[in-house]
Homo-oligomer: A and B are copies of this chain.
Amino acid sequence: MSHRPFASAATRVSAISPDFELLTNVREFGGTTMSFERDAEIYGEGEAAEYLYKVVSGAVRVYRVLSDGRRQVSAFYLPGDVFGLELGSEHAGSAEAVANAKILFVRRNALLEASESNGDVARELLAVTARELRWARNHGLLLIKSAQERVAAFLLEMWQRMPRGAAFELPMPRRDIADYLGLTIETVSRTLTQFEDSAAIKLVASRRVVLNDPSALRALNA
């Protein structure tokens, strides 16, 4: 039964599901799920890259630290997102749970081997990498914008990625947002207050946001 595990895979192009299901749903890859408490490390910079990860629940930050302690959060990952894929043999950054999280582990070697014989798996690997690249470039573009533009873009991004509704909950503290946007927590806080004063958003609680006027934020997005 598992003799030719991929024989019935969908046709080529359509096989790239938005959630990269092929990569993580195939029993043969031996995925296991683990739970992480808030702030627990999932992997560290420089460690051997043995797995590919998928967020089942919770949220994850991937970051790098400079020698003097400055930290850059390069991405947040939410349920359904795949992360930790490295072409090199070790992780270029560290990953931690932002909030309590369940993470699915998939053995990297199993995937790379499968991609040798199975074009759909190879395509999904390329797709995951390409999506990361698109994100990384957008993030780079963010970093040349003004504080208002960065915070607005961040809110819109999170809004779009979270289980929808006018209101949503930011899973991460201000420190993480600041390090993601290349700002200080004070500037993030002040900017959110400005948006609230201008009635574009409402902070029901410090992490609970209501987007009263998404288009006002979008207008800031140069």
Contact = CB atoms under 8 A, between A and B. Distances in A.
A139 B144 CA distance: 12
Interface of A: 12, 64, 66-68, 70, 72, 74, 86-88, 92-93, 115-116, 119, 122, 125-127, 129-134, 136-137, 139-141, 143-145, 182, 222
A74 B137 contact: yes
Contact of A133 (B127, B129, B182): B129
A75 to B, nearest CB: 9
A141 B222 contact: no
A136 B129 CA distance: 12
B144 A70 contact: yes
Contact of A66 (B67, B136, B222): B222
A104 to B, nearest CB: 22
